[in-house]
């Protein structure tokens, strides 16, 4: 039981770190797009405060970075189209993340429900003092 809790805690911590890194990378990428800053893996990683390999492990972000790099030398209308495409990609990634988080939330809520039911069952199995035991304790001055 303790091993399961430890594993669950480690898994939750890892998920939180991954989610945090994803948010930092996407925020950095969006900010750089708005500012018109040249976008490279190194620059996005530095702005996000993560290692280059962390950015490289995210295929959707890499695709967006490559699209932004490819459009950087293009004319203004092409850059706008690439930016709109990048926004659509970011939106799709965020929607996927939202779906994943909803699934995690439903699983956590189900687990909490199971634990509460288990707690209720366990408390019902414990011996409860009877009325006569309570009366005897009160009569003896034990409260």
pLDDT, one tens digit per residue, over 45-94 is: 999 999 999 888 888 888 888 877 777 654 444 455 557 777 887 888 88
Q: Which domain holds residue 126?
A: 2-139
Q: Give the pLDDT mean for 1-27.
A: 76
Q: Angle between the 59-71 and 76-125 helix axes, to the nearest 10 degrees?
A: 170
Q: How many residues does the chain have?
A: 143
Q: Is the pTM of this model over 0.85?
A: no
| Separation of alpha carbons 117 and 1, rounded Å | 17
Task: Report how many domains make up the chain.
Answer: 1
| Residue 106 confidence class, pLDDT cut points 50, 70, 90 | very high
Residue 33, pLDDT above cutoff 70: yes
Token representation of residue 94? 């965020």
46-68 burial string, b = 16+ CB within 10 Å, else e? ebbebeeebbeebeebeebbebb
Q: For position 21, what pLDDT does the model report?
A: 85
The structure tokens 């898994």 sit at 11
């Amino acid at each position: 039981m303790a091993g399961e809790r430890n594993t669950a805690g480690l898994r939750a911590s890892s998920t939180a770190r991954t989610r945090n890194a994803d948010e930092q990378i996407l925020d950095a990428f969006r900010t750089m797009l708005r500012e018109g800053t040249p976008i490279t893996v190194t620059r996005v990683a530095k702005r996000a405060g993560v290692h280059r390999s962390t950015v490289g492990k995210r295929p959707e972000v890499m695709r967006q970075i490559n699209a932004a790099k490819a459009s950087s030398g293009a004319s203004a209308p092409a850059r706008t189209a690439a930016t709109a495409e990048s926004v659509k990609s970011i939106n799709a990634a965020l929607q996927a993340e939202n779906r994943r988080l909803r699934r995690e939330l439903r699983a956590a809520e189900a687990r909490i429900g199971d634990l509460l039911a288990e707690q209720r069952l366990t408390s019902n199995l414990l011996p409860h003092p009877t009325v006569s035991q309570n009366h005897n304790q009160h009569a003896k001055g034990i409260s």
